[in-house]
A and B are shown apart, each in its own frame.
Chain A
């Protein structure tokens, strides 16, 4: 019995299909969270059509991708969102979707409750309105709580309350757990990554090292009752590994399909350096997953680089690739939040090396900043209205004769 390699090493060599695939359906979003991983806001005109989305679901079914984590943007603002959920379920592809709760009406909640194949994840980044809304925007706490209450009222048990741990909410973990209990939800905590707009606020939002230790102790105490999406594997350097695979799954067991069909190594690495291909290309998603050069490269045994001689390397494996990349650290060195403090030294060294320009997350679909509100009348000149030259002439330039000079 037994196989020649430990399971984790087998996983690092890649699988026939991802275990966990994140699919961002749209870059459109009603919110503008300051730490948005995908810099969402405005829809991209090149987003996959309904037919293309269905063809991709067919492909997931053929590859036996058990379920997809659908996100965005705010996926539920896509007019065909429920149609795609129904299509996935009919094709035995489970759906777990992340939402800020904006479209969770009693009717939707009732529909969702009926299916084993659908799970819902409500995002909330503060256990109080003040802490949450500072990051996710005014009104977002109330929207999320209303959605949780609506799901609970419809009898949807065990949906997820999903929290990105920040410096501002790291002290609220018990409150989050109580909030989840109140609505019969399961708490899910994930790590803040310096990806997307998160790169701009990471310095202010990422937990301090003392908070990080407290989060680790809290997670150890709560065991499998709290989900983490394996996102705190860098904390394994403290000693005991947290539940989960404890490995960087980028391109090995996870990947991201973005709204325009681009396939990235992971949801936190939306940058051309981690772009493996596009589902619209020949061979579709299957070919990207199985044959892309980037993924083949990620599946080769990695060198520990500067971390190789560290006693904790076997536990943390050097941490998160995306966190290193967007903070300007070498990929074969320590994680910026290395629990032994090597990240701080590495960050200081990068900074000293001449204010290195950090890689910019790309692409950016943020809404443009709103112009300051005018408090006085806006001066405009209204031209004299000319009648159309003919009754049926709809050309807006009808009758317009450009003046020479």
Chain B
């Protein structure tokens, strides 16, 4: 998967599925980029400074990304 910053947010591309996805929310982008460094998605969200009110929308965005295999659960969990 590759991430390309754009004026509106970012473009995500998965080389295996050949699918393109768009991320408009800069905070979700920060979360996606930092997922690997955090033990959980929630921790990545908190570290990005996301408020409790914004969490459900971010959860939905991450679920959509997971369903298109843009992000996936770490091996060994």
Contacts and interface: CB of A to CB of B under 8 A. Distances in A.
B8 A5 contact: yes
Contacts of B5: 16
A64 B18 CA distance: 15
Interface string B37-75: 000000000000000001001000000000000000000
A3 B54 contact: no
Contacts of B4: 16-17, 64, 66
Most chain B C-beta atoms within 10 Å of own C-beta, residue among A13, A92, A116:
A116
A1 B27 CA distance: 9
B20 interface: yes
Nearest to B22: A7
A3 B4 CA distance: 17
B67 to A, nearest CB: 14
B7 A94 contact: no
A1 B54 contact: yes
A66 B57 contact: no
Contact of B24 (A2, A19, A64, A67): A2
Contact of B8 (A3, A66, A92): A3
Main secondary structure of the interface of A (DSSP, over half): loop
A33 B4 CA distance: 37
B15 A3 contact: no
A330 to B, nearest CB: 31
A30 interface: no
Interface in A330-384: none
Nearest to B17: A116
A68 to B, nearest CB: 12
Contact of A66 (B7, B9, B13, B22): B13
B9 to A, nearest CB: 7
A66 B70 CA distance: 14
A223 to B, nearest CB: 15
A87 interface: no
A5 B57 CA distance: 19
Interface string A159-191: 000000000000000000000000000000000
A-B CB proximity, top 5 nearest = A66-B13, A10-B8, A64-B4, A116-B16, A3-B24
Interface of A: 1-3, 5, 7, 10, 13, 15-17, 19, 64, 66-67, 92, 94, 96, 116-117, 119
Interface of B: 2, 4-9, 11, 13, 15-16, 18, 20, 22, 24-25, 27, 54, 57
Given A3-B8, A117-B15, 16 more contacts: A5-B8, A7-B22, A10-B6, A10-B8, A15-B6, A16-B4, A16-B5, A16-B6, A19-B11, A19-B20, A66-B2, A67-B15, A67-B18, A94-B15, A94-B18, A96-B18
